[in-house]
Structure 1
């Protein structure tokens, strides 16, 4: 699959891969977990790139040096979040700050522990890119990732992101503006929280998994 421009009229759309967590329930950082022959962080970066996003910013934290040494993150701008232990919100803030100098009109946010998200799901969200856009992937009656944040919302999202809530509260307050984009036919929305999850997770992006409501979305 080619990495075609994700948004209409060639408008640049960035991607933000959040991969800084320690993976306490899993027992090690999820960025370093292998799935389908690749580290989860590598899968997320490739998904964003093939989905047509540029630039792709990847936020590391726990075991950042090991992730840099082991993972092939070619084509991504990799940054460290020194405050990663405070929760996902700090990584979201760090990633959005790194994106501000770029000319992207919007950013697609992906979590490292959701290997069922596919380039096509990324492309569907990115295709709605506009400065004031807010969109979230829908899986049946649930909502999950990816999430699209238009540039006009970045400052507000960063100001409200705290702990592990990410942009959840910001999106909840703007539910009338939030567009739900059905993705269940091309991706799965569940996350890999434990080794048992990884072992039972669908190998591909087929429909049918339970959507995650944590982190940036929900």
Structure 2
């Protein structure tokens, strides 16, 4: 069971959990249902967001949504599912679906997270929220993470955005770009928070060790 949320008020922080993809590259079905610590990965990540200080989580499903809903459980009323019927058009449509649902709660800020990052811990989410400042975007950097080409990404998810920035960022996203549109924000508005550990995505068979 997840620890008690640090900030239970959804009008403060609402999270968007992007979990709509089909997991085609990995070839094991929707990543939301990858097994992690004895349950579907989507359940684990949703609980991490709550325990880290998000008052509400909106889980965006798409590929095999009915199957995910049948196999995953979200008993906490702070977690709600929204289905993106246009998920196959790319991550941008799921981002817009999730941000629209989150903004409907009237939060002060929005967290954007990916379901395929099992390395994210409640402490990492709490660190992001503590570091975020009004009018800015806080992005993650993972101390031990390397991309498939051996490079070290400049920034990654989760992200924390002011509510006033989340809508425009989602609206400007195209195709699979998702929240990369944040890169076009003025440099003074983008801050990076470094976390210990490895926050890389589970994209290929080589990444399955992250689920151990």
- TM-score tier (shorter): 0.7 to 0.9
> 1:66-122 deviations in whole A, cap 9, x for unaligned?
111110122211000011001111110001111122121011111010100111111
* Structure 1: distance between partners of 2:205 and 2:91: 21
Match of residue 130 from structure 2: 127
CA distance in 1, matches of 2:16, 2:126: 14
SS at match of 2:25: coil
Question: How far apart, CA to CA, are the structure 1 residues paired with 2:100 and 2:22?
Answer: 22
Match of 2:193 in 1: 181
SS of equivalent residue, structure 1 residue 121: helix
TM-score normalised over the length of structure 2: 0.86
| SS of 1:92 mapped into structure 2 | helix
The residue number in structure 2 matching 1:26 is: 26
Aligned-partner SS, 2:175: coil
The question of 1:101 aligning with 2:104 is answered yes
| Matched residue SS, 1:62 | coil
Matched, 1:38 2:48: no
Write the mapping of 1:1-218 to structure 2, written as runs, cut at 5 A.
1-5=3-7, 12-27=12-27, 28-75=29-76, 76-129=79-132, 131-140=134-143, 142=153, 143-184=155-196, 187-198=197-208, 200-201=209-210, 203=212
Task: Supply the distance in 2 between the matched residues of 1:45 and 1:109 (Cα, whole angstroms).
Answer: 12
Q: 1:195 to 1:37 in 2, by over 3 A?
A: farther
Is 2:31–2:41's contact at 8 Å kept on the other side of the alignment?
Answer: yes
Could you report, residue by residue, the CA deviation over 1:155-174 in whole angstroms, capped at 9, with x for unpaired residues? 21122111111121332442
Which runs of no fewer than 5 residues in structure 1 stay unpaired?
204-218
Which whole-Å CA distance do the structure 1 matches of 2:101 and 2:202 have between them?
27
Kept after mapping to 2: 8 A contact 1:117/1:145: no
CA 1:11–1:85: 2 relative to 1, 3 Å: closer
Give distance in 1, aligned partners of 2:170 and 2:211. 33
| Equivalent-residue separation in structure 1 for 2:56 and 2:211 (angstroms) | 29
Q: Provide the rounded CA distance (Å) in 2 between the counterparts of 1:124 and 1:72.
A: 27
* Unaligned ranges ≥5, structure 2: 144-151
Instruction: Assess, with a 3 A threshold, how the Cα gap between structure 1 residues 137 and 170 changes in structure 2: closer, same or farther.
Output: closer
Deviation at 1:30, TM superposition (A): 0.4
CA distance in 2, matches of 1:49, 1:173: 27
Task: State TM-score, norm by structure 1.
Answer: 0.83
What is the CA distance between 1:131 and its match in structure 2? 5.0
